[in-house]
Amino acid sequence: MTSEVVENEFEFYSKAEKYWKDVPATVDGMLGGYGHISSIDINSSRKFLQKFLRDGPNRTGTTCALDCGAGIGRITKRLLLPLFKTVDMVDVTEDFLTKAKSYLGEEGRRVRNYFCCGLQDFSPEPNSYDVIWIQWVIGHLTDNHLSDFLKRCRAGLRPNGIVVIKDNMAQEGVIMDDVDSSVCRDLDVVRKIIRRAGLHLLAEERQENFPDEIYHVYTFAMR
């Protein structure tokens, strides 16, 4: 439970905002110095996502995706724009979204909206997105804010749409990182929050071929 490790909610959020303002607007900056794992990450995410985009009665559409905690648009550029007609991006750091406009190049014309907002205050437009992709950012939300945000995401989905979380998982409990003011939850805690938000887990997968010294990373699909 984040309530056990987050003493001051306002400080928790403002410290994280301040941290990201000082991070270089580069792929390496987005990945905390692990820019070299970007391709491994994207390739695994593509395989995971394409399972839902294949033909079938419950196929997820490819009209519009939302990239949450989008940064400079690493995931938008390499995962979402190749698969979706349009993409919206949301991030708390204005400088990252500004950088995204040049980083995304020509394809960036298909980014419809750049929302500068913390996810605790963000509401996806109802019935708008086929996929809402939330990667390496849930640690910046308290349990209550994450659960509430996921409820709003659920309302933001189009028919057969999915919400995807891809993030670090702790071995046990909830671990606080004072450097970037984030938490890392274990699998059980994340699953409980997903259920609390009224979402049903469709798939869960552990990321392979990441460096041994970093947290295990898991991807969840839900609706």
Q: Which residues are annotated as a binding site for S-adenosyl-L-methionine?
A: 69, 74, 91-93, 119-120, 135
H/E run at residue 202: strand 201-206
- Phi and psi at 24, nearest 5°, equal -60, 140
Beta strands 111-116 and 86-91: pairing type?
A: parallel
Q: Label residue 7 exposed, middle or buried (CB < 10 Å: 0-12, 13-18, 19+).
A: exposed
Alpha-carbon distance of 39 to 78, in angstroms, equals 9
Q: Which two structure tokens, joined as six digits, stand for 36?
A: 């070299």
Positions at the binding site: 69, 74, 91-93, 119-120, 135
DSSP-derived pairing of the beta strands 129-135 and 201-206: unpaired
Q: Edge-to-edge, what's the strand order for the sheet holding 129-135?
A: 111-116, 86-91, 64-68, 129-135, 157-169, 216-222, 201-206
Location of structure tokens 């298909």? 110
d(CA 70, CA 93): 9
Identify the three-state secondary structure at position 111. strand
